[in-house]
Copies of this chain bind each other. A is one copy, B any other.
Amino acid sequence: SVNPDLASERQTASFSVEKLTALLDGGTEQTRIRRAVVEAIESDPVFSRENQYFQTQNERYEAAVRKAVHLQTKMHEMGWTENGPEYKYIYRALSGDVAFLLHRVFMRSISVLGSDKQIAKWIPLATQHKLIGSYAQTELGHGTYLQGLETTAVFDTATQEFILNTPKISAMKWWPGDMGRSATHTVVFAQLYIHGKCYGIHPFIVQIRSLQDHSLCPGITAGDIGPKMNFEHIDNGYLLLKNVRIPRENMLSKFCEVRPDGTYVRQGSQQINYFTMTTVRISLISDEVLTPLMKACTIAIRYSVVRRQSKLKPGEQEAKILDYQTQQEKLLPQLAAAYAFHFINDYLQELFNRGYREIQRKNFDMLPELHALSSGFKAVITQHCTAGVEICLRACGGHGYSLLSGLPSLYTKILASCIYEGENTILLLQTARFLIKCFMAANAGQPVPPSVTYLAAVKHGKCPAKNKLDFLSPDIYTEAYQHVAVRLTSSTAAKLQDLIQSGVKKHDAWNQCTVQLVQAAKAHCHYIAVKNFAETVEKLETKAGIQKIMKHLCDLFALHGIFSNTGAFLHDGYTSAAQMDMVTASYLDLLAIIRKDAVPLVDAFDFTDKSLNSALGSYDGQVYQRLYEWAQKSPTNQMSPAYERYLKPLLHNTLSKL
**Chain A positions 279-330 with a Cβ under 8 Å from a chain B Cβ:** 307-314, 318, 323-327, 329-330
A608 in the interface (beta carbon within 8 A)? no
A56 in the interface (beta carbon within 8 A)? yes
A447 in the interface (beta carbon within 8 A)? no
A415 in the interface (beta carbon within 8 A)? yes
Chain B residues in 8 Å Cβ range of A647: 65, 69, 132, 182, 214
Interface residues in A, total, Cβ within 8 A: 137
Question: Separation in Å of the A279 CB from the closest CB of chain B?
Answer: 21
Chain B residues in 8 Å Cβ range of A62: 640-642, 645-646
A219 in the interface (beta carbon within 8 A)? no
Which of B326, B630, B657 is close to A515, meaning CB atoms less than 8 Å apart?
A: B326
Chain B residues in 8 Å Cβ range of A394: 415, 418-419
Stretch in contact with the other chain, from A107-115, A155-163, A221-229: A221-229
> B65 and A401: CB pair below 8 A?
no
Which of B148, B518, B569 is close to A318, meaning CB atoms less than 8 Å apart?
A: B148
**Chain A positions 413-438 with a Cβ under 8 Å from a chain B Cβ:** 415-416, 418-420, 423, 425-426, 429
> B630 and A226: CB pair below 8 A?
yes
> What residue in chain B is nearest A231 (Cβ atoms)?
B401
> B404 and A416: CB pair below 8 A?
no
Question: Separation in Å of the A429 CB from the closest CB of chain B?
Answer: 7
Given A56-B635, A570-B567, CB of A642 within 8 Å of CB of B225: no
**Chain A positions 176-208 with a Cβ under 8 Å from a chain B Cβ:** 180-182, 184-185, 207
> A658 and B207: CB pair below 8 A?
yes
Chain B residues in 8 Å Cβ range of A505: 313
Stretch in contact with the other chain, from A36-44, A134-142, A343-351, A599-607: A134-142
Q: How far is the CA of A238 from the CA of B629 in the complex (A)?
A: 12
Chain B residues in 8 Å Cβ range of A140: 624, 627-628
**Chain A positions 114-162 with a Cβ under 8 Å from a chain B Cβ:** 125, 129-132, 138, 140-145, 148
Stretch in contact with the other chain, from A14-22, A455-463, A648-656: A648-656
| 5 additional A-B residue pairs with CB within 8 Å, beyond A226-B630, A567-B567, A572-B577 | A54-B227, A66-B642, A132-B647, A238-B628, A313-B507
A sample of 21 inter-chain contacts (CB < 8 A) reads A58-B636, A58-B638, A66-B645, A132-B651, A140-B624, A148-B309, A148-B310, A172-B628, A182-B642, A207-B658, A224-B631, A224-B637, A226-B403, A227-B403, A325-B513, A325-B515, A398-B419, A565-B567, A570-B570, A571-B580, A572-B577
Q: Which residues of chain A have a CB within 8 Å of any CB of chain B?
A: 53-54, 56-58, 61-62, 65-66, 68-69, 125, 129-132, 138, 140-145, 148, 169-170, 172, 174-175, 180-182, 184-185, 207, 211-212, 214, 223-229, 235, 238, 307-314, 318, 323-327, 329-330, 390, 393-394, 397-398, 400-404, 408, 412, 415-416, 418-420, 423, 425-426, 429, 505, 507-508, 511-516, 518, 565-573, 577, 580, 584, 588, 624-625, 627-628, 630-638, 640-643, 645-651, 653-658
